[in-house]
Amino acid sequence: MIYPIGIALVIAILSLIFRKLVEINLAYWFTMTEAYGTYKLMSLLQINRLKLLLCQFIALPIVFLEQHIYYISTLSLLP
């Protein structure tokens, strides 16, 4: 029998690892684009807005999935 709490823990750990990888990749990508001088084409405000949009686009599905799994695992604990 597969326990929902175990599944939720595994997915939570995987999502944390995925978030860290995304943060590292985004930081590297923006550092490289700034290092090559691409940031001169955009204002600093546009770069920050782009970073925020990318982070939201990547993080929102992960948060939704975590909340959904937590909800299902707590429902399965009810008698």
The pLDDT > 90 percentage for the chain reads 0
Q: Who wins on pLDDT, 32 or 75?
A: 75
Q: How many domains does the chain have?
A: 1
| Burial classification of residue 25, based on how many CB atoms lie within 10 Å of its CB (0-12 exposed, 13-18 middle, 19 or more buried) | exposed
Q: Could you list the residue range(s) of the whole structural domain that residue 46 is in? A: 4-77
pLDDT confidence of residue 77 = 66
**Residue 64 — very low, low, confident or very high, per pLDDT cuts 50/70/90?**
confident
- pLDDT tens, 38-52? 555 445 555 666 666
**Residue 66 — very low, low, confident or very high, per pLDDT cuts 50/70/90?**
confident
Between the alpha carbon of residue 73 and those of residues 1, 9, 11, 69, the distances in Å are 14, 10, 12, 6
